[in-house]
Structure 1
Amino acid sequence: MKQFIDFIPLILFFIVYKISPQAVDVLGHSFMVGGIYSATAMLIASSLVVYGVLYVRQGKLEKSQWLTLIACLVFGSLTLAFHSETFLKWKAPVVNWVFALIFAGSHFIGDRLLIQRIMGHALTLPQAVWTKLNIAWIVFFLFCGAANLYVAFTYQEFWVDFKVFGSLGMTLLFLVGQGIFLARHIHDADPSTQPSNKKRED
């Protein structure tokens, strides 16, 4: 479920983006609603609300959530300040590549791989399987970053659709694949499936 919380602001961003630009009067002030810039403002505001609520309820945010929030604030603010959507186009690639770097760094820093720290409380797996799983996450984030960058600057009319539904689809497919992978290997660490070394009594 945590993986999909990040998509709430993105979905709201998509909805506002798809609205035909129009002026809306609020308390005597006129605001433009619809299009990339009002959608960016919605992305920033909804991210602050979503992660603010999580922070109040949990008393903290995970590092990945802090990274996502900070990236949203930085790239979203630059988009509005310079009135250029180019900054927002770089948000998804940069965030994905930073995640890939963090997962890769756990191979050299710390006593456990990052995926093992995240899922180790719920699963017991052979170390070789944890390594493969961590590498899979690195490849996934590298691919997502590259895909977002390619679509954003090559198919500009579709980049917002891909940013939301393409990223969501890739995440769902990867999690399904991870589930299948774990189902094949989880028994390797189950003591009940290991051969017994106990000698049979005559």
Structure 2
Amino acid sequence: MKFLFDLLPVILFFVSYKWADGNKEVTAEWLTHYVGFAVASGTVVAKQAPVLLATVVVVVATLLQVVILKAARKPVDRILWASLGVVIVLGALTLWFNNEAFIMWKPTVVYWIMGLGFLLTEVVFKKRMLKQMMGGQLDVPEAIWTRVGWAWALFFVGMGFLNLYVAFVLYAGNTDAWVNFKTWGTLVLTLLFIVAQGVYLSRHALEPAAEAAPGGGQ
């Protein structure tokens, strides 16, 4: 359930973009009427309408995530706070300049923040956040946890660069292709990496200590 809750902004971004892409004129008129004040020119052009609507939706969705967690008196993850800050700043720039390039940077910035977080938490301070998340289900050597921490940090850094490559090189000027990659490509890559990490950790799991025989050692 938490997985779907975390994915909600991504899903809504994709759905709203696809709907607006098929209704560009209507979307442009609606955005101009309701959020034209946030656009430098005061008018949203049809070509930019889909990504601008998706940007508005993802900002609102991320904000609602924080509000819901606060209302339920549940802790708000630091990465969610960071994601909210990044999406508000880059979303505002996207709207003001009527340019999708800013929101395209959002995944990269969030990935790099997460990578830095893993590096500091797992490698530098050795707090073993991953071990805590797994509920202590796996007992592996400390050196393995350090390697896994490095792997996650490098994974997120790499994903950040991959997002920039897809957005501005591989599919430069093709927002639709970037949206598809952002939604499905990154999800598949992340799931594959999680599976690989699970296999790696299971291979290095320590055997539980054998129980002493009855009456032994007395």
The count of residues paired between Structure 1 and Structure 2 equals 192
Q: Which residue of the partner structure matches residue 17 of structure 1? A: 17
What amino acid does structure 1 have at the position aligned with 2:191?
L
What is the percent sequence identity of the aligned residues?
A: 35
Write 1 or 2 for the structure with the bigger share of strand: 1
- 3-state SS of paired residue (2:26): strand
Distance 1:51 1:112, change over 3 A: same
**2:192 is the counterpart of 1:176:** no
- 3-state SS of paired residue (1:191): coil
- Deviations for 1:93-138, whole angstroms, at most 9, x for unmatched residues? 1111111112222323x35244345446554332011111111101
Q: What TM-score results when the alignment is normalised by the length of structure 2? A: 0.76
Q: 3-12 vs 170-179, which deviates more?
A: 3-12
Q: Which residue of the partner structure matches residue 83 of structure 2? A: 68
Indicate if the aligned counterparts of 2:138 and 2:202 stay in contact, CA closer than 8 A: no
1:153 Cα deviation after fit:
0.4
1:191 Cα deviation after fit:
2.3
User: Which one of 37, 47, 53 corresponds to residue 68 of structure 2?
Assistant: 53
**2:100 is the counterpart of 1:85:** yes
User: Where do 5+ consecutive residues of structure 2 fail to align?
Assistant: 36-43
Distance 1:76 1:122, change over 3 A: farther
User: Which one of 116, 119, 140 corresponds to residue 125 of structure 1?
Assistant: 140
Indicate if the aligned counterparts of 1:79 and 1:86 stay in contact, CA closer than 8 A: yes
Indicate if the aligned counterparts of 2:167 and 2:178 stay in contact, CA closer than 8 A: yes
TM-align CA RMSD = 2.8
Which runs of structure 2 are paired with 1:24-173 in the superposition (5 Å)? 35-106=50-121, 107-108=123-124, 110-119=125-134, 121-154=136-169, 155-156=171-172, 157=174, 158-173=177-192
